[in-house]
Amino acid sequence: MNDVRLNRRFVETDDEREAGQLLSLLFNAYHKTVFDAIIRMRRNYPDTVVEPDEITNDTFVKAFNKRKEIQEPEKLVEWLVTVAKHLMIDVIRRSRQKRRLSVVSVGTFFDVEKEEPFASTLVETDTEQTEANRHLVARLLRLLQDTDREIVEFKGDELPAKEIAELVGSTTTEAVQKKWERIRKWLEPIARNLDALVDCIPEKRDRWIIERYLDGQPLSEITEALSISPATVERTVKRVRAQWKKAAEDNPTDPVSAMVKKEK
């Protein structure tokens, strides 16, 4: 069922009261379609606590709040199903994050620990080693943009490529696997040399920005501490990330030398 006239009235009305009344009609008309879509998706994630009724209700609440942004009223049903799936994905992501192992290893993401330790030689206990690894992983993830970061995090959860593709909205599992391989190709050399790469940034201000950014400082704190604009921070991070990525691709065994050579 798809009542285009009802959809259009709902999207176009400027009367909040009328919109609320129309929303009730839409809920009665499309509730089952949205609910069934959530149920089908939930079957793929039996280990995740999902409340289909709650997600369905949230979907229609979002439709009310975002109705002026709906460009094609005739496709409102498809829009509702897409919103419901995104809300479902948010629930799954939060669930995965809560269940993540307390012991985070760099080797969970990259095959590097067996070759050399990443923690200081002063680290003597397993707890300290774990915290050092956790800190490195967090810094590496800061170098990634949204979708790439999600892929790496889900890889850390050991999710199959098919599930990752669905969660990040990718078209195929092959596309996810190729993206993961590209990420790993340039990020792994950086993981091995992160501190040295930071140290070889020639401009002191750029180095301060990157150090603070990698340590997870909010943008507002960085700008205030260094008396610079948010745009300056963003440009610096983007530029340094691109330079490191190219250095890692040009010389995977020694990206630091590639960076130093470039500066000369």
Query: Which residue do the tokens 């065994």 mark?
Result: 253
Confidence (pLDDT) at 101: 41
**Tally of residues, the chain:** 264
Domains along the chain with CATH numbers: 4-99 (1.10.1740), 102-184 (no CATH), 193-264 (no CATH)
For residues 83 and 94, what is the distance between their CA atoms, to the nearest angstrom? 17
Confidence (pLDDT) at 102: 39
SS3 164: helix
**Residues in CB range of 81: below 8 A, 6 or more apart:** 33, 34, 37
**Residues in CB range of 56: below 8 A, 6 or more apart:** 31, 34, 35, 38, 84
- Element of type H or E holding 202: none
Q: What is the pLDDT along the chain (264 residues), one digit of tens a residue?
A: 678 999 999 999 999 999 999 999 999 999 999 999 989 888 777 656 778 899 999 999 999 999 998 889 999 999 999 999 888 888 877 776 655 443 345 555 565 544 444 444 444 555 665 667 777 888 888 898 878 888 887 777 677 778 788 777 777 888 888 888 899 889 989 988 999 999 999 999 999 999 999 998 998 999 999 999 999 999 999 999 999 999 999 999 999 998 877 665
Would you say 50 and 72 are in contact if contact means Cβ atoms under 8 Å apart? no
Where does residue 89 rank: exposed (0-12), middle (13-18), buried (19+ CB within 10 A)?
Answer: middle
Q: What is the DSSP letter of 75?
A: G
Question: Of 179, 120, 132, which Cα lies nearest the Cα of 154?
Answer: 179
Would you say 179 and 171 are in contact if contact means Cβ atoms under 8 Å apart? no
Question: Of 186, 177, 92, 116, which Cα lies nearest the Cα of 144?
Answer: 186
Confidence (pLDDT) at 48: 65
